[in-house]
Structure 1
Amino acid sequence: MSSLEFTHRRKNPLTGDWVLVSPHRNNRPWSGATEADAVEQLPSYDENCPLCPGNERANDTSNPEYQDTFVFVNDFGALVSDNDNQVNQESPSFIQADVARGECRVICFSPDHSKTLPELSNSEIEAVIETWQSNYNELSKQYDCVHVFENKGAIMGCSQPHPHGQIWAHDHMSTEIEVENEHLAAYKKSENSNLFADYINFENEQKERVVYSNEHWLAVVPYWAAWPFETLLIAKDDVRHMGQLNAEQKASLGDALKQLTTKYDNVFNCSFPYSMGWHSAPSSLDDDSHWRLHAHFYPPLLRSATVKKHMVGYEMLAESQRDLTAETAANILQEASSTHYKKGL
């Protein structure tokens, strides 16, 4: 299937949402807002950073002198585990609320303040994956939904440059997971097959949207991508949640993350911002055979390190719209070097 270089729509089979693709718009002149180009070289330690080893955080708490990863309960978490409040349902029926219980944790990827994920060694990235898994295993015993994610860069709302991610776990099934679960289950029922398994086979045959592939993982710009350089990282094996990853799959994942995030940084020779998150099968499912562990990467940059895609107007009020095709974005990422651009500085 060749790239459709004319205005058309593509459907996301995971959500049912459509995206309007308008390739000709990428040639339009740009005089709108630009972002600051983050070229500042950060120190390996910042005495004012609340995430650096030994430094003080909120509530007079101090970090240990950690050597690899470090996890703590978020000092300003959006969820709390001891929420014993009750919601009195209002009338009419369209007014609804429910109590939310859960836990929010912060994961520092490294004691080095200056190194983002692609700048860590493979062994350091594997340590991050081990930390993701151990925390997932603990929290999934208590909560139905466990979200492991990272917001990278100030333009993605990241309040601290120190390399870190988060885990939010809660009783309820989040909206994104609920929608994906419904569509994955419907596909399994109608096709008697796993949607992700079929999609991996399709992309391996097409090849034009594959960014990186190894024995256990496939990184691809999905056919239905909404963000300019959006990617999907999918487990090739029948792995349904993060707790099922074995040692070989985790090592292979470390390599895939290193390759993908390095290519991201090399597109515009900058610390490429994104929101990334893992989707695992909810713990409450009696049958999760329709699931496959995967991560979504949503980077906002469009034309350069300082021009980002704004999801406004039509995107907010109608449906997503993108200017370059998924195939064009994939080609740019394919051509990006696997050696980080800072190596040559």
Structure 2
Amino acid sequence: MESAGTFHPSEHQHIRYNPLRDEWVLVSAHRMKRPWQGQLEKPPEEDIPRYDPSNPLCPGARRANGEVNPAYESTFLFDNDFPALQPDAVEPGPSQHPLFRAKSARGVCKVMCFHPWSDVTLPLMSLAEIRAIVDKWAEVMVDLGNIYQWVQIFENKGAMMGCSNPHPHCQIWASNFLPNEAKAEDGTQRQHCLQHGTSMLVEYGQQEAARRERLVVENENWLVVVPYWAVWPFQTLLLPRRHVLRLQDLTDQERDTLASIMKRLLTKYDNLFEISFPYSMGWHGAPTGPHLREEDCSHWQLHAHYYPPLLRSATVRKFLVGYEMLAQAQRDLTPEQAAERLRNLPEEHYTLKQARSAQ
């Protein structure tokens, strides 16, 4: 028997559909009222030295393989000293049973430093410095995309997200196969395009821009939303307004405005709890490779996912365990609540405000 009353998403549990992954998420916003007696994280380290010769990502530092970094002044790209993928791989051979299948995995893993200083992060960089990062991303996408089927750019920021080196950088892994996340998004976007004749995420972006309840920040070429189906508390989705397949397809203006909107979003993240906000982020665009037929990619839309773990404060995070691992994803505040909190935050970085107040 259904209960009477008016549905309020911030008060009543419900499930939401994620069309990009063909999955559902349980939204239980009333759980934010429960007392927290679980694990408390250490706030991120703030006093990071600008240069540390023992940090293998710093200019002039010696890395684990004995190589010495150049005295770079902008971005710096190098092969990962401990790669998960390598260009050569031994074939496992035919399977003796369909339940025990394996294939060779080939690829390369690279590290890209954003800046020579260890004590800066993306929101504290200049627009020109961020634009240089965007250009390098696009360049690497072209170079590796000529060889490999998938090129994954991702950044793990903060020790909470497994970042072992306090220095602004990302990783780029290219593979001769489509990873699970890419394969899932390829399938759902293709199916939506076949059924509706439009790119799923182009249509979704247009809907969010019109509805505005989950909009965080926008400019003439980009918008950032907390997606309707978000799992992580302050998860966001960065979308171009026009149909774009890959980073290298962006115009000069779109690259400039991408640098701007990234800085604005990440400043809001840091301002939320007045810490250097941890997250994992990554770019998803159309597959690549030498044998790709471009007409097979029109269903794709370039986008970036941001997955920050913090829930209530700088020390309380969201854990994806138990029900999330064994049943389905669950979140503790609505995407609309998260978007409103982020949207209403100032776009001046809290450290700059503190420095000005101290003068």
- The two structures have a TM-score, normalised by structure 1, of 0.98
Kindly report which structure 2 residues correspond to 1:25-174, keeping only aligned pairs within 5 A, or say none: 25-83=31-89, 85-174=90-179
Matching of residue 325 in structure 1 with residue 325 in structure 2: no
- The match for 2:308 is 299
Please give the per-residue CA displacement for 1:213-251, whole angstroms capped at 9, x wherever unaligned.
Answer: 111111000000000000000111121011211211100
Moved more, 151-160 or 236-245: 236-245
- The match for 2:357 is none
Work out which of the residue numbers 295, 299, 302 in structure 2 matches 1:290. Answer: 299
Indicate conservation of the 8 Å contact 1:106/1:165, yes or no: yes
Moved more, 300-309 or 2-11: 2-11
- The match for 1:338 is 347
- The match for 2:276 is 271
SS in 2 for 1:212: strand
Amino acid at match of 1:339: E
Indicate conservation of the 8 Å contact 1:3/1:325, yes or no: no
Indicate conservation of the 8 Å contact 1:81/1:102, yes or no: yes
Separation in structure 2 between the aligned mates of residue 327 and residue 187 of structure 1, nearest angstrom: 25
User: CA 1:253–1:3 in 2, change beyond 3 Å: closer, same or farther?
Assistant: farther
Separation in structure 1 between the aligned mates of residue 78 and residue 298 of structure 2, nearest angstrom: 33
SS in 2 for 1:9: strand
Separation in structure 1 between the aligned mates of residue 33 and residue 313 of structure 2, nearest angstrom: 14
- The two structures have a TM-score, normalised by structure 2, of 0.94
Separation in structure 1 between the aligned mates of residue 191 and residue 43 of structure 2, nearest angstrom: 44
- CA shift for structure 1 position 3: 6.3
Amino acid at match of 2:242: D
Moved more, 64-73 or 32-41: 32-41
Amino acid at match of 2:322: G
Indicate conservation of the 8 Å contact 2:310/2:317, yes or no: yes
Return 5+ residue gaps in structure 1 as ranges: none
Work out which of the residue numbers 12, 19, 22 in structure 2 matches 1:13. Answer: 19
How many residues are treated as equivalent by the alignment?
Answer: 343
Amino acid at match of 1:33: Q
- CA shift for structure 1 position 63: 0.2
Separation in structure 2 between the aligned mates of residue 235 and residue 187 of structure 1, nearest angstrom: 18
SS in 2 for 1:309: coil
- CA shift for structure 1 position 89: 2.7
Work out which of the residue numbers 164, 185, 210 in structure 2 matches 1:180. Answer: 185
Moved more, 283-292 or 126-135: 283-292
Moved more, 101-110 or 283-292: 283-292
- The match for 1:257 is 262
Separation in structure 1 between the aligned mates of residue 80 and residue 45 of structure 2, nearest angstrom: 28
- The match for 2:320 is 311
Separation in structure 2 between the aligned mates of residue 289 and residue 130 of structure 1, nearest angstrom: 23
Amino acid at match of 2:9: L
Moved more, 195-204 or 58-67: 195-204
Identity %: 47
Please give the per-residue CA displacement for 1:37-78, whole angstroms capped at 9, x wherever unaligned.
Answer: 124321211121000000100111000000011000000010
Please give the per-residue CA displacement for 1:262-284, whole angstroms capped at 9, x wherever unaligned.
Answer: 00000000010000000010123
Amino acid at match of 1:169: A
User: CA 1:129–1:95 in 2, change beyond 3 Å: closer, same or farther?
Assistant: same
Report runs of 4+ in structure 1 exceeding 6 Å deviation.
none
Please give the per-residue CA displacement for 1:85-144, whole angstroms capped at 9, x wherever unaligned.
Answer: 111233221111110000000000000110011111111000111111111110000001
